[in-house]
Structure 1
Amino acid sequence: MILIDNLGNTNPYLNLALEEYMLRHSKQGEDFILFYINEPSIIIGRNQNTLEEINTSYIEEKGIHVVRRISGGGAVYHDHGNLNFSFITDYDVKRLNNFKNFTQPIVNILNEMGVPAKMEGRNDLLAKGKKISGNAQFSSVKRMFSHGTLLFDTNLNEVAKALQVKMSKIQSKGHKSVRSRVTNITEFLPEPMRIEDFKQKIIDGLFKEKEDFSIYQLTDEEWAGVHQLKKEKYDQWGWNYGKSPKFNIRREKKFPVGIIDLRIYVEKGHIAAIKIYGDFFSKDPVDELEYKLLNVRYTLPDIKEALSEVNLKNYFGDLAKDDFIELLYGEDEE
């Protein structure tokens, strides 16, 4: 495994651009890991409606960055007390949505440090029932990454103020508030530690049995490519926020795969527009699925016909097609 040197950058737009650049341009057959710490920022999941995930007035007042990532999952808060990691490897269907494959080495290192971490749920690391890490993945045709957060000593009060977490998510986890369901790794350490030292311990733990450990320094040409991606994508309002669609039907439900939130505009009996939001993990971009439903008559037989050859697992993971169709068209619950 090769450690990517991000030169200590803390700009979230640049770090996400670096991660995507290395995913798309790194050599096949080689495994990389990237660590980075971001300035205060909210990192939005690929399929989320940004304006409904953030406390806009608060983040504007505090100057908190808002950046959309290319992986699915939910919105997370980053600051200087949060360590982020990203494993970049060849694509393997057995690794997709198999977060334990990537996080277990980190869990082992945390356990050695006295932190009672373990994988729970679909993508979280917990310590004594409280979340200390969330994880997400993205895959291209040949490569993929699995990345996550490590809440080392983050300002948890800011998490609650900056994010607008859906009540269904809070209630499903059996906690009363955002603040009550997350905690810092520092709470479990036997003695104080700086985040830089914590990062080094994680790196040392990952590479202690790797004789071929090396550090990758990007060339000037590669850094130019990263900055170009940042400028053309991650710096853009359209990417980070997007345009909220016009809709006259909204259907939302929390499934084991995550929240699916449908905004549908039906005109003259046909689906004139549809937008799929949520914190689910998808292999393929959901705009492909949205396109398949455009101009379809908003009737159950026509919807079933439009989706008859569609493999929904590529968009939502292990979700039954009948469950999605029921959400899309079924009767509203009273």
Structure 2
Amino acid sequence: MIFFQNFHTDPFFNIAAEEFLLKYIDEDVLMLYSSDDSVIVGKHQISTFEANQQFVSLNKIPVIRRISGGGTVFHDSGNINFMIITKSQNPDIDFSKHTKPVIDFLNKAGYNASFKGKNDIRIDDWKVSGNAAHLFKNKTLYHGTLLFDSNLEKLNNSIKPSGAVFETKAVQSNRSNVRNISDFKSGVSKHLFFENLKDYLCKYYAVKTEIGFSQNDILIINKLINDKYKTDEWNYHYSPDYVFRNYYLFNDLKLEFRLRVKRGLIEEVDYNTALTDLKTDELFKSLLGVFHTPENVIKVLFEKDLVINVDTSDFRNWELLRSFF
């Protein structure tokens, strides 16, 4: 097994690097890293639903779809991510087996850690790690989070449901009570925890080589970022089909509406209201054929003089925009 050094904190780079290691490196691989603030959604999830669009837009937190299934997680500098890629003649997904070395490390370090549910690591019944996996040819990619000293307020706000109704068969995240590992034991820095975890896993997997990304590796990763991971096509439009229901109150009048979305595109709209001020017919007809993302919907609202600009990070625009997400 090879240990890949990764000092990058750009979440786009790190998510793309995982796919690169899976598809371009013909060795078993171990990697640990931390990313800047980001919401990472599962491959088969609806990004619009899983991330609180108002909060992530106002705080400029990117929403990125990964190649593995499972639920949504939050990355920040206080979170440690681990990734393991193994080859096998009969690859399968076994989360209890994959999480065992991490749980063993935590227990030997003095934490009361255990495997719970489908893919969680918990300490004293508090979730500190979510895990996911992806099969590719004869390989299995496992990866997970370790909440060491994350901003839990920002985490909760980033993935807090908006209150709108989504009707879908898509995978939806199970919300859990989370806690930082640092809360359970004082006097341990993130750097020391990271290095101890690295040493333990390298011994467990009998790592023989430690290398970094070459310039050619980085070129391939950057191409993946630009062609895939920084595109709305992957992060939003890849979403399973869904129906979105919500309402907007204007001068004590209620505008109820429904959007049918397919491959990220608004294909059908229905509404029921006594409003005349908002020119509802014209507004909803203009939404047909528009991608259901804040950046696209706000352009329609701006064209109808309903918002002051097309900046989704301007809180003044969200009085109306929030009802569409």
- Shorter-chain TM-score range: 0.5 to 0.7
Aligned to 2:272: none
Quick check: which has more Rg, 1 or 2?
2
Using the aligned pairs only, state the percent identity. Answer: 33
1:216-264 Cα distance to aligned partner (Å, 9 max, x none) = 22221121111111111111122111166776799xxxxxxxxxxxxxx
| 3-state DSSP of counterpart to 1:241 | helix
Q: Give the aligned partner of residue 119 of structure 1.
A: 115
The CA distance in 2 between the partners of 1:17 and 1:48, in whole Å, is: 18
Shift of 1:91: 4.4
Answering whether residue 80 of structure 2 is matched by residue 83 of structure 1, we say yes
Matches within 5 A, 1:28-107: 30-91=27-88, 93=90, 95-96=92-93, 98-107=94-103
Alignment partner of 1:182 is 2:178 = yes
Matching residue of 1:4: 4
Tell me how large the CA RMSD over aligned residues is: 3.0
> Is the aligned partner of 1:214 residue 2:209?
yes
Q: Which residue of 2 aligns with 1:278?
A: none
Q: Who is 1:330 aligned against?
A: none
Instruction: Within 5 Å, give how 1:174-253 maps onto structure 2.
Output: 181-189=177-185, 191-208=186-203, 213-242=208-237
SS state of the match for residue 238, structure 1? helix
1:85, CA displacement in angstroms? 0.5
| 1:20 CA displacement | 0.2
- Give the structure-1-normalised TM-score: 0.66
Work out whether residues 52 and 164 of structure 1, in 8 Å CA contact, stay in contact via their aligned partners in 2.
no
Q: Name the residue aligned to 1:317.
A: none
Residue of 131, 135, 138 corresponding to 1:135: 131
- Structure 1 residues 299-318: aligned runs within 5 Å: none
TM-score, length of structure 2 as denominator length = 0.68
| In 1: Cα distance, 2:204 partner to 2:71 partner | 34
* AA at the equivalent of 2:120: D
Q: Structure 1 residues 94, 166: closer, same or farther in 2, change over 3 A?
A: farther
Q: Which runs of 5 or more residues in structure 1 are unaligned? A: 168-176, 251-264, 266-272, 276-334
Distance across 1 between alignment mates of 2:19 and 2:155: 25
Paired residues, number = 243
Distance 1:20 1:209, change over 3 A: closer
* Cα distance change of structure 1 residues 143 and 247 upon mapping to structure 2, 3 Å threshold: closer
User: 2:166 is matched with which residue?
Assistant: none
C-alpha contact 1:9 1:36 (8 A) present in aligned 2: yes
Q: 1:204 to 1:54 in 2, by over 3 A?
A: same
Q: What is the deviation of 1:212?
A: 5.0
